[in-house]
């Protein structure tokens, strides 16, 4: 809700605005407010031998922050019309599928158990489907890389491969 409130404020404050919606981010720095990033959290849990139980009924567009930065740079040079733009890596998957992909790429043979989101005790309710489509970006001739491709790029850059 706070993100949406920020969008409303921005739209009311100025007609000349860019709102860039991103989702399910992971990257070098991680999210301090969320305790790091999902990829690193799963890897660390696997290294400690913890059971990996991940929701298979919530879908999103996992997005590498470095790919956002590359695309934002191109976007700003184009000086497109003001408005709302989605900027996520192409495709979508469940958090379970994303976690499985991490360990498939690493070739670690880690077991990941699927669970339902109803099994989690969360304070904030999350949408079942939060994947975004880059329709407006594509109209500008900009294309984000597929999520699995940049996940592999991230894992290489972090020295896991």
Reported as a single tens digit per residue, the pLDDT across 69-112 is 999 999 999 999 999 999 999 999 999 999 999 999 999 999 99
Long-range contacts made by residues 119-122, C-beta under 8 angstroms, separation at least 24? Answer: 119/53, 119/55, 120/55
Q: 3: which residues sit within 8 A by CB, 6+ positions away?
A: none
Helix axes 65-78, 147-157, angle to 10 degrees: 120
pLDDT per position as a tens digit, 33-55: 555 799 999 999 999 999 999 99
Every domain of the chain and the residues it spans: 2-157
- How would you class 3 by CB atoms within 10 Å of its CB: exposed for 0-12, middle for 13-18, buried for 19 or more? exposed
Asked if pLDDT for residue 19 goes beyond 70, the answer is yes
Q: Which helix (H) or strand (E) holds 1?
A: none
The CATH number of the domain covering residues in 2-157:
3.40.50.720
pTM across the whole model: 0.90
């Amino acid at each position: 809700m706070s993100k949406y409130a920020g969008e409303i404020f921005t739209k009311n404050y100025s007609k000349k605005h860019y709102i860039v919606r991103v989702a399910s981010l992971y990257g070098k720095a991680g999210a301090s407010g969320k305790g790091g990033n999902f990829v690193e959290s799963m890897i660390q849990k696997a290294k400690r031998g913890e059971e990996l139980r991940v929701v298979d009924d919530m879908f999103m567009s996992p997005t590498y922050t470095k790919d956002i930065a590359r695309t934002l740079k191109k976007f700003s040079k184009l000086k497109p019309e003001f408005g709302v733009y989605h900027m996520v890596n192409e495709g979508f998957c469940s958090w379970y599928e994303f976690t499985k992909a991490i360990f498939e790429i690493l070739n670690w043979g880690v077991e990941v158990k699927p669970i339902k989101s109803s099994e989690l005790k969360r304070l904030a309710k999350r949408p079942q489907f939060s994947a975004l489509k880059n329709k407006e970006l594509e109209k500008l001739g900009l294309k984000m890389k597929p999520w699995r491709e940049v996940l592999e790029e991230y894992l290489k850059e972090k020295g896991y491969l």
